[in-house]
């Protein structure tokens, strides 16, 4: 269970979710028609040492294997892969638009195994700050450096827990509060309590000048019954395939019914925000997955929110 002061590395707790996401990017990259390309995702997953179940996510035939056991679970696994590709593509485009408009300061909150500082084509003079747990950042930096991978921007790691005084740590790393900034909160908010989410956006706003931008993935809402059903289905499949389940992602997430709507909160606090439905974006780029059991519940899907500081 989560606690207010818990921490993790890449093999434990929330850290393992970064490996899951990187695995999805790796599989997408090897498709004949990839929506995104992440040449470093497979390297980061393969060296994480997190066990067979996560490494199996690199298997392009895994969806078919799961579907043979349970068709709906197979659809969910396919959806998860497609969703990660679409999410990555959406926020890649967000950054491309930001730098095209002259922004040269980027902050990725809870960056995990995000490799944008290495794989995107950043204009000269761009500084990318990555904030995350010290051990997570250390693993990524060391793994890529040991394999001869260098950043394509001025990458600056900021090893600090987002529940601590990260704005001070960010400024100590060279962050300029007077410069327009492009912020990203991807794969983060569901791991924060509702009050911590509000506090995070308040802190971002306090160091964001007019013209700054922020993009965020919202936390979807699943009923207790639906979560229990998903867990039972995944356990059945894992047992058949012989995978030991070491992490229950649902136990890492804060299911808070009082969580604020991100777009509404930003619109009330000095930003101009727009929310994009994840299913709509998946359909727009041709990556929607039919047969997903939660398709009839719009609250079960995230939104991709983008906003500009007024």
Q: Domain coordinates of the chain in residue numbers?
A: 14-309
Q: May I ask the CATH architecture of the domain 14-309?
A: 3-Layer(aba) Sandwich (3.40)
Exposed/middle/buried for residue 224 (C-beta within 10 Å: 0-12, 13-18, 19+): exposed
Nearest CA to 130 among 160, 161, 157, 165? Answer: 157
For residue 307, the surrounding DSSP H or E stretch is strand 303-309
Mind listing the pLDDT tens digit of every residue in the chain (310 residues)? 556 666 666 666 566 788 889 989 999 999 999 999 999 999 999 887 766 566 567 777 877 887 788 778 778 888 888 999 999 999 999 999 999 999 999 999 999 999 999 999 999 999 999 999 999 999 999 999 999 999 999 999 999 999 889 999 999 999 999 999 999 999 999 988 899 999 999 999 999 999 999 999 998 876 566 666 666 776 776 677 666 665 666 667 778 888 999 999 999 999 999 999 999 999 999 999 988 877 677 777 899 999 999 9
Token digits for 191? Answer: 């791991």
**Tokens 């990017």 — which residue?**
25
Q: How far apart, in whole angstroms, are the C-alpha atoms of residue 138 and residue 221?
A: 32
pLDDT at 294: 72
Q: For residue 247, which phi and psi values (nearest 5 degrees)?
A: -135, 130
Q: Give the start-end residues of each E strand in 178-242.
A: 181-185, 213-217
Token digits for 80? Answer: 């998860």
**Tokens 């894992």 — which residue?**
238
pLDDT at 62: 78
Q: Is the Cα torsion angle 44, 144, 152, 172 positive or negative in sign? A: positive
């Amino acid at each position: 269970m989560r606690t207010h002061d818990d921490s993790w590395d890449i093999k434990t707790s929330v850290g393992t979710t970064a490996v899951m996401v990187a695995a999805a990017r790796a599989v997408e990259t090897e498709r004949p028609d990839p929506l995104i390309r992440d040449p470093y995702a497979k390297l980061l997953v393969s060296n994480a040492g997190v066990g067979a179940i996560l490494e199996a996510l690199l298997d392009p035939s895994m969806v078919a294997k799961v579907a043979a056991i349970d068709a709906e679970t197979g659809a969910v696994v396919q959806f998860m892969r497609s969703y990660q590709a679409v999410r990555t593509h959406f926020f890649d485009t967000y950054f491309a638009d930001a730098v095209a408009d002259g922004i040269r300061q980027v902050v990725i909150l809870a960056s995990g195994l995000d490799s944008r500082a290495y794989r995107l084509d950043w204009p000269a003079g761009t500084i990318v700050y990555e904030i995350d747990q010290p051990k997570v950042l250390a693993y990524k930096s060391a793994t890529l450096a040991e394999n001869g991978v260098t950043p394509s921007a001025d990458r600056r790691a900021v090893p600090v827990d987002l529940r601590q005084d990260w704005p001070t740590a960010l400024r100590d790393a060279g962050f300029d509060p007077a410069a327009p900034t492009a912020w990203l909160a991807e794969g983060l908010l569901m791991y924060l309590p509702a009050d911590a989410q509000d506090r995070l956006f308040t802190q971002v706003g306090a160091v964001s000048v007019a013209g700054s931008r922020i993009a965020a993935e919202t936390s979807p809402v699943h009923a207790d019954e639906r979560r229990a059903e998903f867990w039972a289905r995944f356990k059945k499949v894992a047992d058949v395939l012989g995978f030991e389940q070491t992490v229950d992602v649902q136990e890492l997430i804060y299911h808070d019914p009082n969580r604020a709507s991100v777009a509404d909160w930003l619109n009330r606090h000095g930003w101009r925000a727009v929310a994009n439905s994840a299913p709509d974006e998946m359909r727009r780029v041709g990556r929607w997955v039919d047969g997903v059991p939660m398709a009839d519940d719009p609250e079960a899907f995230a939104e991709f929110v983008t906003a500009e500081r007024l």
